[in-house]
Structure 1
Amino acid sequence: MNEPAIELKGLSFGYDGSPVLEGVNLSVPQGEYLAVLGPNGGGKTTLLKLLLGLEQPTAGTVRVLGQEPSQASRLVGYMPQLTSQGRDFPISVLQTALLGRLNSRSWWPRWPRRDRDKAMECLERVGVEHLADKPLSDLSGGQRQRVFIARALAGEPRMLLLDEPTASVDPEGRASLQELLGELAKTLTVVLVSHDLSVISRHVSCVACVNRTVHFHPRPEVTPEMFGMMYQCGPHSCPVEMIAHGIPHRVLAPHEVKP
């Protein structure tokens, strides 16, 4: 595991001449649990698309596990953001997990025993094996997210990319998912993308803030500089106070408000 999980050099990208990411340099070692944070429209989803090989940079290079994203795709499990589209599609939990086993040799819907066993193993790993025969549409938001994580795991990846995995999930479900991702991060590189600062759980090992550029911090914290970059705080802005619910203290970075 000598090559970085993610390596970006001089990366820039834009749509129709409008820049989204500019001059991004980032190196993330394998085995990290990276939280990618930033405001809506700051470039987080675009960064994911570049890592997945769905978009090509206008300048610079992208390497995933030492390879071009298109070559590394078989080593990456991806869980897209949960939407309401297709929620009533008639598919079971097990069938959903099996989709992670699809490849050029798959013969759907007749799955080999090894594929079914692997899908069940992944459902068990995320704690929903007892729901295998249930329709996906009958599950709660948190349960569906676990099934989609199982689908991403079914391909036996070395890295997981998760887009807003705790969105549309109640607080109890979010806490449970964070614990699950912490367990997965013991054996995989995990990259979690979110606009919600509360995803920085005790399991996260490093943070990257994205807002047209990227500021990387090798520890699970958000510095005043990162706040400023994320939310465009200027010298005359009001200070940002960060409140952590469930923890009996508040962290307020040193600041000075100029008249």
Structure 2
Amino acid sequence: MAQQALPQRDPEGTQERLTARLGKPLGAGRTVHGVALLLPGGRATGTGRPSVLALAAQRPPARRLAAAAAADGLVVHVVHYRRSGWNGSAADPVRDAEWAVDEVVRRYGDVPVCLVGTDMGGRAALLAAGRPAVTAVLAIAPWLPPPGPEPEPVRQLCGRRVLIVHGTNDEHTDPDLSFRLAQRAKKVNRDVCRFEVHSDGHGLRQHRAEVRALAADFVRGALFGHHFARPVADALAAPPPLGLRMPLASGFGASLGY
């Protein structure tokens, strides 16, 4: 697979950067029509280098997503965080995600962006959605804070299509918290849905193929106007709680070529 190295832009001396372009290189006459930014997981606290394993875990889904939407002109990048942790009010991954969106605009111009976050990256994706270029957010097993005096904001999701995916047996990040956030988000934005992966855990390993197919279908529909698969369209249209507890069927995507 050919890769094109991208120059770093680091005005503040930090180490934020995007990985090399994934998927087939754009040929003559081809332009970038959309970008997916993958935001890896991490830890609650940590100022050291992010885990190499966390970055490596994003490469297979990044390649799968790039291949699924290559004909649409999709470019996929995995965002490299400056630090390994969320770090309380610093919310370091959110700052990195916002930087990455701005960098996409600088490099590619006015193209739609989908933030695809896993674990801690899922929370970062949801919070960084307010950047004007962001049109869609996919949060996979998002790590969310417990209920507190100040609830997690959701108004930044207005005008975006939002999909949350969570395993019902997740012991690392609480699926009930993502359901509650989806409920609140649905009140201010009708284009919110949530899929439950029954009996699966945090890594969603038992239904990995279905989750990746769901991601591809959502990104292609949200960024490029393709018709969503029937379950996704139904979940977006259904009133809560139906559209927020949509089961991800075994074999999803098999007939769609993903």
TM-score, scaled to structure 1:
0.29
Higher helix share: 2
TM-score, normalised with respect to structure 2 = 0.30
- Structure with the larger RCO, 1 or 2 (CA within 8 Å, 6+ apart): 1
Question: Which one has the largest radius of gyration?
Answer: 1
Q: More strand per residue: 1 or 2? A: 1
